[in-house]
Copies of this chain bind each other. A is one copy, B any other.
C-alpha cells in the first residue's frame, strides 16, 4: 500500500512581533506560532490553518501564505488589532524578555473549524489555552491519526486541570526541558517522561534550543544535536518551525512509526535551524526544498558513526 500524503491542521497564534536581538531591531514583522508552523510544514504537505487576525492584517501580510500549500479558510478576521508581541533577546540568545503582550483580537479567540478541516488526520495544537486546544479536537468528526501539542509554563501553572484533560487526547507532547520538569514535577527527564506518558501522550519531544532535541518514546529514545550555525540572528519561531517540520514531515509521509518519527525529528531540526538564521520569517520565506534536503544530509554527516 502506498503511503498517502495527509493534510495537517494547526491552531495557534498569528501575530505581529517587535524583535530585538544583538543583531538588530525589527519594529513589526509577521510572526505567531501558527504562522511559523504553517510555513515550515507546507514544504511537506497541505496545511489547514486556524487562527484569528485583526483588521490591521493586510493582503500583503497574507502574502506569506499564498503560493504555499496553506489553506487559510480557518483564519478568522475580527474587528480590532492583531495579537502583538514584543521581545528582546539576551547576548547569548538563550534567554528572552517579553516587553509587550497585547492579545487584542486573540483574547476572544474561539477556534472554529471550516467543514473541510473536520476530517483532517494530523493535528497540531500550538501553545494556547488548553480549553481552546480541546475545543478544536471536539469539532473533529473523525478520530485523528496523530495529535501533537505544545504548551508553556503559563498554562502548566494556571490551568493544570484543563491541560491534563487535553493531554488525555494527545499523542505527542512537544515542550522544553523546564516545562517537562514542571509538568511532571520531576527533575530527571526520563522519569518525567514516564509520568507524562501516564497523562496520555506516548511520545515526548523535548526541545532544547541550540542543544537540539530529544524524543522519548515508551520503548526507545532518539536525540538530534543542535545544528552548529555561523549566524543566529533571531531565535523567534524556532520551536514552532521545528514543530512544523516535524508534523509536516509525518503528515507528508502518511505514516507514524519509529523510522518516520526519527526522520521527523531531523526535519524539525532542519526547519528550526533555518528559521533562526534571519529575523522573523525572512529565512523561511526564501527557503527551497532542496536546501532542506541538503541540510538534512548535513545532519546525517554531523551524527553518523560506525562501531
Contact residues in B for A266 (Cβ distance below 8 Å) = 305, 307
Q: Is A214 an interface residue (CB 8 A)?
A: yes
Contact residues in B for A224 (Cβ distance below 8 Å) = 225, 303
- In the complex formed, the residue of B with least CB distance to A303 is B303
Contact residues in B for A211 (Cβ distance below 8 Å) = 208, 211-212
Tally of contact residues, A, Cβ under 8 A: 40
Find out whether the CB atom of B189 lies under 8 angstroms from the CB atom of A228: yes
Find out whether the CB atom of B230 lies under 8 angstroms from the CB atom of A305: no
Contact residues in B for A304 (Cβ distance below 8 Å) = 262
Find out whether the CB atom of B223 lies under 8 angstroms from the CB atom of A303: yes
Contact residues in B for A265 (Cβ distance below 8 Å) = 305
Find out whether the CB atom of A297 lies under 8 angstroms from the CB atom of B306: no
- What's the least CB distance linking A232 to chain B, in Å? 8
Find out whether the CB atom of B216 lies under 8 angstroms from the CB atom of A263: no
Contact residues in B for A228 (Cβ distance below 8 Å) = 189-190, 214, 216, 221, 223
Find out whether the CB atom of A223 lies under 8 angstroms from the CB atom of B190: no
Find out whether the CB atom of A306 lies under 8 angstroms from the CB atom of B190: no
Contact residues in B for A306 (Cβ distance below 8 Å) = 259, 263
Contact residues in B for A91 (Cβ distance below 8 Å) = 187
24 residue pairs of the A-B complex, CB under 8 angstroms, read A91-B187, A188-B229, A188-B232, A190-B228, A190-B230, A191-B230, A211-B212, A212-B223, A221-B228, A221-B301, A222-B302, A222-B305, A223-B225, A223-B302, A223-B303, A224-B303, A262-B304, A263-B306, A263-B307, A293-B307, A296-B307, A300-B305, A300-B307, A303-B303
Given A190-B229, A216-B228, A224-B225, output 7 extra A-B contacts at Cβ < 8 Å: A92-B187, A188-B230, A221-B301, A223-B225, A223-B302, A265-B305, A303-B303
The 7 closest A-B pairs by CB, nearest first: A223-B225, A262-B305, A211-B211, A190-B230, A303-B303, A223-B302, A190-B228
